[in-house]
Amino acid sequence: MSVRLRTSAQNKPAKQRGRRVLSVVAALAVLGGGLAVSGSPAYSAPDRAGHPDAVNEGARNLVHEDGFPAVLAAVEGRHGRVRDHTAGTGDLETGAAVPVNGQVRAGSNTKSFTSAVVLQLAGEGKVDLDEPIGTYLPGLVRGEGIDGTRITVRNLLQHTSGLPDYTQSLDPNPFEIRDTYYNPREMLDLALSEKAVFEPGAKWQYSNTNYVLAGLLVEKVTGRPFGEEITNRIIRPLGLKDTYWPKAGERGVRGAHPKGYASATPGGPLEDITRLDPSQAWAAGQLVTTPRDLNRFFSALLGGEVLDAAELKEMTTTVPAAEGSATPNTEYGLGLFRTPLSCGVELWGHGGAIHGYETFGGVTDDGRAATVAVTALSASVAAEPEGILEAHQHVQELVETAICE
């Protein structure tokens, strides 16, 4: 297969703007799990935070002010009551309603599932978090300044490996790659063709390449396909009936879902991109799920249903993850962001973005949970970096509105 990369066919101004936007999108990887918190939630009245009307109002604002086609949310209170919210249009062509708790592409929320599988293997004595990835995948991780014998499994799950992000080499026009199947090794080769970003363990920087390697690690250790392991170890035991790992080549969304939209250039006309080969994300972001299932997963994960105490402690041991971002208090564990909210609680979760969908949320120690999904990337509804960041932050602020009371 010929991997489609960024081309020089675009005119220079568009190319320069594309690079600026790509840098912003890379920064959103940091913001993806950490809310930019400053005082009270900005997308609702402060005295109504957590109230159903405030969440509905915030969802409508995401549609009418930010331009997202649709919004879906699921909010669970301390006592287990779940409220579903929708706004906008599920299909811009037909005007169909947004399905309640509809399926969406999970994007990087998948990383929390992937990390949980690796940590289960660690608990079984099959993986050592402080062993180099080269021990398990000998000779595979090599490049300019890149040495798999110096990058530990922990570095991968923690985003402290210094590995380049392969997504920076993909064509930024999603319609050019929507039907392309990517083999995980091809994505790894894209990353290894670039030089190391920093020495392993020297700092934190988000890279999807880390989780492609984590998926390859799982396959090597278990001798089974990664999708089978994530299904048998996480999805089925937790009863996540609306969550699934797409089969190789599967491009549709199986259940009731709002259509996902994208633009060929930042802020351009929105077009349907629901049909998409998610192999471009693989173990870093391929899952399909629903807001309720994500709440269930993160609640079970932090509640000790997925990992034994020792592995959960490893997962929730964090490092600062906000360098160069608007989230100075955000930290990252092993596949989890930890963010203090304005109402005095900490949110544990992740967040994810893949063409057509952004999804953010998490859980608190006292049992609250919220997930908000929108049906386009922030870079599709806004053209300039400042507008992209603002739209992205508004999605996150709605999560805080839903959590805080």
Catalytic residue annotation: 108
Rounded to whole angstroms, the Cα distance separating 268 from 266 reads: 5
Helix 52-64 × helix 385-403 angle, to 10°: 170
Which one, of 145, 192, 144, lies nearest residue 165 by Cα? 192
What are the C-alpha distances in Å from 337 to residues 118, 317, 321, 351, 377?
Answer: 17, 10, 8, 9, 20
Residue with tokens 């930042």: 266
Under 8 Å between Cβ of 290 and 103: yes
261 neighbors 89 (Cβ within 8 angstroms): no
Reduced to 3 states (helix: H, G, I; strand: E, B; else coil), residue 103 is coil
Q: CA-CA distance, 19 to 82, in Å (whole number)?
A: 41
From CA 403, how far away is CA 40, in angstroms rounded? 12
The DSSP element (H or E) to which 116 belongs, if any, is: helix 110-123
Give all strands (DSSP E) within 69-159, no chain letters.
70-76, 82-88, 104-105, 142-143, 146-147
- The tokens of 161 are what? 């490996």
Q: Structure tokens of 48?
A: 């109504």
Compute the distance between CA of residue 355 and CA of residue 320 in angstroms, rounded to an integer: 28
Residue pointed to by tokens 């390859």: 216
Place of tokens 């050019």: 176
Question: Cα–Cα distance between 349 and 356 in angstroms, integer?
Answer: 21
- Angle between helix 184-192 and 209-222 (nearest 10): 130
